[in-house]
Amino acid sequence: MLNQSFTEKFKKIQTPFYFYDIELLKKTAQTAIAEAEKYGYKIHYALKANSNRKILKTLKTIGFGADCVSANEIIRAAECGFDAKHIAYAGVGKTDREINTALDFGIFTFNCESLPEIENINKLAAEKGKTADIAIRINPNVDAHTHEYITTGLEENKFGISEWQFDEVINKIKSLTNVNLISLHFHIGSQITDMKVFEVLCSRVNQIQKIFENSGIKLPHLNVGGGLGVDYQNPDTNQIVDFKSYFEIFNKHLHLHDNQQLHFELGRAIVGQCGSLITQVVYVKHGRQKSFVIVDGGMSDLIRPALYKAYHKPENLTSAKAEQIYDIVGPICESSDCFAKNEKLNETQRGDLIAIRSAGAYCEIMASQYNLRELPKAYYSDEI
């Protein structure tokens, strides 16, 4: 249950809106950093999960670097205090404008996804008289056992460079004068809850590092991406992800060279549980087969259920009556505008406040103005 002390304050705010529990964010972030530091690992926070300025400034202060996927994310990270030396930049379609921006900032590394991209970065860096530090993003062909839209490490996906291309890419990089290979990069998918998947990733990374070693290449950095999932079913009992077990897996199964620095790019596991979408019930509609709770927030505010059939636990903040079964739906003209089906909720009436939980990652940032709706605003536990 969301901390009840906020409910009275929520009643004074125009719904729908995002609410962030900053205490929980800090606790989660500090736990992640402390567990990673045990092994000297670095975490770059994946801005794409939530690039809200207050969240970024908080994470920067706690000690994260940044993982960006656009020039605008790089600019946002810099504005929020992240040092360019700790910004990694990934993405299959980096444009010239974006590459030039990243070169001007002097970022830590470009995570390169194809040979034409590497050639282009080399050309643009040469024009500026610079040398760009790059990583090859590897497509390791490892199944992340997650939703097909958020699986990225299979050969059928558009991401990264596959093993059969290594010789060509290595030879090409050796011939280029304005790129400097410093790292290999892996990211196999998101919302991964089966820790065994990370063990499989480690053994694949070990094999691939061997291939590069056999070509005489020993790299000072290695980046294994993000992907660690959160518990959407139990946001209260599992507020903070098991970072301890996660980093232990890499410590146990991954073979690093001497002095090789290991990097992670976590997004969801850092911010997922600290956010909620707060909505108000507009109507309760009783049909013959179902009762619908119609709330004022919809798929334009939080698209994950419509896009991935994702579950976000709804919670009635203003009723303690016996539970009933409802479909909780939004106001938008699409049947997919539904937060949950056949969900138990305390008996609900018009005017009740419903929190849609675990909405800190990939929610506010994916909001749209579909149906010409307003973008939801954000409020914070330490400011309301």
Q: Least distance (Å) from ligand LLP to the CB of residue 289? A: 30
Q: Which is nearer to ligand LLP, 6 or 186 (CB)?
A: 186
In the complex with ligand LLP, the residue whose CB is nearer, 184 or 345, is 184
103/306 with CB nearer ligand LLP: 306
Closest approach, Cβ 69 to ligand LLP, in A, equals: 7
When the beta carbons of 270 and 317 are compared against ligand LLP, the nearer one is: 270
Residue closer to ligand LLP by CB (options 32, 345) is 32
Q: How near is the Cβ of 321 to ligand LLP at its closest, in Å?
A: 33
Q: Angle at which helices 96-105 and 115-127 pack, to 10 degrees?
A: 60
Distance of closest approach, residue 333 Cβ to ligand LLP, in angstroms:
23
CA-CA-CA-CA dihedral for 90, 28, 280, 319, to nearest 10: 150
Cα 34 to Cα 48: distance, rounded to the nearest angstrom: 23
The residue (of 149 and 283) whose beta carbon lies closer to ligand LLP is: 149
246 Rama class: left (phi>0) / alpha (psi -120 to 50) / beta:
alpha
CA distance 274 to 208: 36
Based on CB atoms, which residue is closest to ligand LLP, 269 or 281? 269
* Cβ count within 10 A of residue 26: 16
Kindly tell me which of 267 and 314 has the beta carbon lying closer to ligand LLP. Answer: 267
Residue 354 beta carbon to ligand LLP: minimum distance, rounded to whole angstroms: 20
* Long-range residue pairs from 112-116, CB within 8 A, at least 24 positions apart, any chain: 112/136, 112/137, 112/161, 113/137, 113/159, 113/160, 113/161, 114/161, 115/161, 115/165, 115/168, 115/169, 115/172
Taking the complex as a whole, the smallest distance from the CB of residue 5 to ligand LLP amounts, in Å, to: 29
Give the nearest distance from C-beta 146 to ligand LLP in angstroms.
Answer: 9
In the complex, what is the shortest distance from the CB of residue 49 to ligand LLP, in angstroms, rounded to a whole number? 5
Query: What span, in angstroms and rounded, lies between the C-alpha atoms of 245 and 291?
Result: 42
Interface with ligand LLP (CB under 6 A): 46, 48-49, 67, 90, 150, 152, 187, 190-191, 225-228, 265-269, 304, 308, 361-362
